[in-house]
Amino acid sequence: MAEMRGDTPIDISEDRSKGLLNDVERGLYDFIDEEREEDFYKVDEGLTEEIVRQISQEKHDPDWMLEFRLKSLRIYNELKVPNWGPPIDGLDMARIVTYVRSKTDMKASWEELPEDIKNAFEKLGIPQAEREQLAGVGAQYDSELVYHNVRKDVEEQGVVYTDMESALTGKYADMVREHFMKLVPPTDHKFAALHGAVWSGGSFVYVPPGTKVDIPLQSYFRLNAPGAGQFEHTLIIVDEGSDVHFIEGCSAPKYNVANLHAGCVELFVGKNAHLRYSTIENWSKNMYNLNTKRAICEEGGTIEWISGSFGSHESYLYPTSVLKGDGSHAEFTGITFAGKGQNLDTGARMVHLGKNTSSFIDTKSICKSGGISTYRSSVEIRKTAEGAKASVNCGSLMLDSISRSDTVPAMDIRTDKADVGHEAKIGRISDDAVFYMMSRGISEAEARAMIVSGFANPVSKELPLEYAAEMNNLIKLEMEMG
Amino acid sequence: MAETILEIKDLSAGIAQEDGGEILHHIDLTVGSGETHVLMGHNGAGKSTLGNVIMGSPVYKVNSGKIFFDGEDITELSVDARAKKGIFLSFQNPLEVPGLSLEAFLRNAIREKTGKPVKIFQFKKRMEEVLKLLDMDPSYVERDLNVGFSGGEKKKAEIFQLLMLEPKLAILDETDSGLDVDAVRTVSKGIEIFQKNGGTLLIITHSTRILDSLTVDHTHVLVDGKIVAQGDGSLVNEINEGGYSKYIK
């Protein structure tokens, strides 16, 4: 930004007109799908061995998975809640329902779904997006996938895209067992352990060697039950020389009770393979989003993360790229928008192990109406990573004087044969720029929205077109909310 | 005399901030439709302030007096409302907006100004024509608005916007300052086209380079926030030769 300054002059003009309106419900996402009690199976609130066994039984887990869940629960009980990020006192695990399943089987046709669930996804535009631009779609409603379908031609390429439950017992059972929570072990942190204990749903993708999937696969996660948790597991294995783009979208209606999302994403990028992983997260503002995402790249492999965080009450989200193979490469492009009542702690972690590995982090964060946005990153270049290159570029835009933006970039470099750069900027919307744009006939609100959209543009231009449009709409919506 | 388009009556204005000093004192200025007026004066005389006050900049506040445009009192109107009525200000220091292309900016501006969706094909065609008229590289419009533009490039982009937006009145604030020969040529050409198409001009300048090729109808000399002399185009030459010393007490 041209007008970025290190200090933060108080912008009086902003206070005059903004920050007076209450949180406006976001119509598009906040519709509550009418659920009838008898149509759903759910476990009791809280987290006990009994509940974990119940979930396992309900899901017909193989024996090793039940053991894995119980071990994870023990680890969960031993680990402490992180004390370095946003406070999560408002999250009481004793009140969270960890498993809610609609009494419907997974379908491969939208028409076969119960009307209410089908309507929910119709409102979100998922079936239409599938018809128009996706190679495969998975849709999760509360704890289980209710819809899964892959285009025939993609299936014929040998690409496997299925729900995690089928994958656990199907043809790829060994492969799943070999990889499941190996990259993010339950010992990683308390909520990884929680995930290990109660995970349900999510997607499994396997792309065989030398396969290029031209159009994206997408999973959509909808958490509808109040006071519930969603713990989906996404496992993607891209074999040597292959290329795929995976998109995940998340949303939930707003309730007065805390909801929890503690998903886990594990991405294995093979030799010279390429994976792009895009996320648009728009959880409701009663959601604790404690999500863990990690990728590991073999020689010459590339992981690209595109991440848009708009929703949730509090987020801890730092996708990690482990650059294990020589010459592997990681890029993280992210945007975070923290509005009223939101405390979003987001960023990325890059771990360089192999020689001549490279990583780029480019993030934008925006805060307004008292929202707190913290950029947190860690770039670690180990001794073995000679010739590594890393660059970090983070920009923050504060839209008023009651919001807060922090930048916490850490770097740990253990070899002198590395090239590392860092740039951080924090700024406000310049009144002069608003005047300039208004002098061309643009209204003040529109001018501000255009400046914010422009600020976000380096990220939105990386998104598929319809997602970029959605993101711009979200920005507009946030801006109009005052 | 042509029909009056801009009329400033006994205008006093200063910095909007508390305790901000007054800069303009009792200005009277009348501009007829299609005329070209030049506002001259040394640095700090209040020329840019006057241009900004006509546009409605929130940096300044009007202490007394009125501004009429097309017969309507616009003294209290918002900046965008004034722009919609047909006032355009070419900025002395055009602002940078990262992530917003010049093309997208203009498209939005035209949409907001007209209140109608922009027909993309027509818009693109018009852009091509204007770029060609001004002998500007087409890649200009794809670049982020003013970001990384040289001083000359920014001024060329201002003139490009002027011809795209087709306002009734263009206030050019030091559009000719700090330009290389190439930029002067483009800017002069653009202003000439605007003038020929019947546009009204208020040119704020302390030099006279871009005036060489223009017909000037009226000249106003501003000293210490007051209009101290008014005349026809020949006053420009007079000032060129004699400077402002004659008007400074």
Query: What pLDDT, in 10s, does the model give residues A402-434?
Result: 999 999 999 999 999 999 999 998 889 999 999
Angle among Cα A57, A60, A66 to the nearest 5 degrees reads: 65
Q: How confident is the model at residue A6 (pLDDT cuts 50, 70, 90)?
A: very low
Q: How confident is the model at residue A254 (pLDDT cuts 50, 70, 90)?
A: confident
Interface contact B83-A443, CB threshold 8 A:
no
Distance from CA of A398 to the nearest CA of B (A): 16
Identity of the residue numbered A78: E
Distance from CA of A1 to the nearest CA of B (A): 6
B77, containing H or E segment = none
Sort out which chain B residues have CB atoms less than 8 A from A442's CB and list them.
80, 83, 108-109, 112
Please say if the pLDDT value at position B101 is more than 80.
yes
Check if A1 contacts B (Cβ < 8 Å).
yes
Distance from CA of B59 to the nearest CA of A (A): 9
Distance from CA of B83 to the nearest CA of A (A): 5
Sort out which chain A residues have CB atoms less than 8 A from B170's CB and list them.
none
Average pLDDT, chain A: 87
Q: How confident is the model at residue A31 (pLDDT cuts 50, 70, 90)?
A: low
Sort out which chain A residues have CB atoms less than 8 A from B88's CB and list them.
439-440
Distance CA A132, CA A440 (A): 37
Query: What value of ipTM does the predicted structure carry?
Result: 0.96
More confident call, B194 vs A128 = B194
Q: Rounded mean pLDDT of B90-114?
A: 93
Sort out which chain B residues have CB atoms less than 8 A from A433's CB and list them.
95-97
Sort out which chain B residues have CB atoms less than 8 A from A443's CB and list them.
80, 112
Most B CBs within 10 Å, among A4, A436, A452, to test the B interface: A436
pLDDT one-digit tens code per residue, A194-250: 999 999 999 999 999 999 998 889 888 888 888 888 999 999 999 999 999 999 887
Determine contact, residues A453/A205, Cβ cutoff 8 Å: no
Sort out which chain B residues have CB atoms less than 8 A from A2's CB and list them.
95-98, 147
Instruction: Please list the alpha-helical segments (H only) found in A316-443.
Output: 431-438
More confident call, A41 vs B163 = B163
Check if A17 contacts B (Cβ < 8 Å).
no
Say what the pLDDT of residue A444 is. 93
Nearest-Cα residue of chain B relative to residue A449: B100
Q: How confident is the model at residue B238 (pLDDT cuts 50, 70, 90)?
A: confident
Say what the pLDDT of residue B163 is. 97
Q: Rounded mean pLDDT of B175-202?
A: 89
Interface contact A433-B97, CB threshold 8 A:
yes
Determine contact, residues B44/B247, Cβ cutoff 8 Å: no
CB-CB: which of B57, B89, B98 is closest to A455? B98
Residues 409-438 of A with CB under 8 A from B: 430-433, 435-438
pLDDT one-digit tens code per residue, A317-353: 999 999 999 999 999 999 999 999 999 999 999 999 9
* Superfamily of B4-247 according to CATH: P-loop containing nucleotide triphosphate hydrolases (3.40.50.300)
pLDDT one-digit tens code per residue, B194-237: 999 999 999 998 776 667 778 899 999 999 999 999 988 888 88
Interface contact A433-B96, CB threshold 8 A:
yes
Please say if the pLDDT value at position B158 is more than 90.
yes
Q: CA–CA distance from A50 to each of A232, A260, A472 (Å)?
A: 20, 20, 45
Q: How confident is the model at residue A281 (pLDDT cuts 50, 70, 90)?
A: confident
Q: Rounded mean pLDDT of B152-164?
A: 95
Q: Rounded mean pLDDT of A448-476?
A: 81
pLDDT one-digit tens code per residue, A69-118: 999 999 999 999 988 889 888 888 888 999 888 877 888 888 888 888 88
Please say if the pLDDT value at position A176 is more than 90.
yes
Determine contact, residues B191/B200, Cβ cutoff 8 Å: no
Say what the pLDDT of residue A16 is. 29
DSSP state of B1: -
Q: Rounded mean pLDDT of B170-194?
A: 88
Specify if A3 maps to a domain.
Answer: no
Identity of the residue numbered B94: P
Across the A:B interface, residue pairs with CB atoms under 8 Å apart total: 88
Specify if A309 maps to a domain.
Answer: yes
Distance CA A298, CA B185 (A): 57
Say what the pLDDT of residue A463 is. 74
Q: CA–CA distance from B172 to each of B54, B55, B155, B190 (Å)?
A: 12, 11, 10, 12
Interface of B with A (CB under 8 A): 55, 57-59, 78-80, 82-84, 87-89, 91, 94-100, 105-106, 108-110, 112-113, 144-145, 147, 161, 165
Most A CBs within 10 Å, among B49, B54, B80, B112, to test the A interface: B80
Please say if the pLDDT value at position A38 is more than 70.
no
Q: How confident is the model at residue A256 (pLDDT cuts 50, 70, 90)?
A: confident
pLDDT one-digit tens code per residue, A356-365: 999 999 999 9
DSSP bridge partners of A315: A289, A344
pLDDT one-digit tens code per residue, B6-45: 999 999 999 998 777 899 999 999 999 999 999 998 888 9
Identity of the residue numbered B25: H
- Residue matched to tokens 């106003």: B220
Determine contact, residues B244/B47, Cβ cutoff 8 Å: no
Closest by CA to B40, choosing from B223, B245, B224, B241, is B223
Specify if A1 maps to a domain.
Answer: no
Distance CA B39, CA B203 (A): 6
Distance from CA of B55 to the nearest CA of A (A): 7
Say what the pLDDT of residue A255 is. 74
Walk across the sheet containing B60-69 and list its strands: B22-32, B4-15, B60-69, B72-73
Interface contact B98-A433, CB threshold 8 A:
no
Supply the range of the domain harboring residue A135.
12-480
CB-CB: which of A439, A446, A450 is closest to B89? A439
Domain count, chain A: 1
Say what the pLDDT of residue A33 is. 64
Q: How confident is the model at residue A141 (pLDDT cuts 50, 70, 90)?
A: confident
Q: How confident is the model at residue A18 (pLDDT cuts 50, 70, 90)?
A: very low
Percent of chain B at pLDDT above 90?
71
Determine contact, residues A14/A276, Cβ cutoff 8 Å: no
Say what the pLDDT of residue A314 is. 94
- Ranked by mean pLDDT, the top range of A450-454, A465-469, B69-73 is B69-73
Check if A13 contacts B (Cβ < 8 Å).
yes
Nearest-Cα residue of chain A relative to residue B89: A439
Average pLDDT, chain B: 91
A85-119 per-residue burial string, b: 16 or more CB within 10 A, e: under 16: bbebeebebeebbbbbbbebebbeebeebbeebbe
Specify if A304 maps to a domain.
Answer: yes
Interface contact A2-B57, CB threshold 8 A:
no
Sort out which chain B residues have CB atoms less than 8 A from A451's CB and list them.
97, 100
Please say if the pLDDT value at position A138 is more than 90.
no
Specify if A4 maps to a domain.
Answer: no
Specify if A5 maps to a domain.
Answer: no
Check if A450 contacts B (Cβ < 8 Å).
yes
Q: CA–CA distance from A436 to each of A444, B108, B109, B130 (Å)?
A: 10, 14, 11, 21
Interface contact B105-A440, CB threshold 8 A:
yes
More confident call, B59 vs B236 = B59
Say what the pLDDT of residue A414 is. 96
Please say if the pLDDT value at position A25 is more than 70.
no
- DSSP sequence for A409-456: EEEEE--SSEEEEEEEEEEE--HHHHHHHHTTT--HHHHHHHHHHHHH
Count CB neighbours of A36 within 10 A.
9
Please say if the pLDDT value at position A26 is more than 70.
no
Please say if the pLDDT value at position A57 is more than 70.
yes
Specify if A2 maps to a domain.
Answer: no
Interface contact B109-A440, CB threshold 8 A:
yes
Distance CA A152, CA B237 (A): 80
Check if A393 contacts B (Cβ < 8 Å).
no
Determine contact, residues A213/A246, Cβ cutoff 8 Å: no
Nearest-Cα residue of chain A relative to residue B87: A439
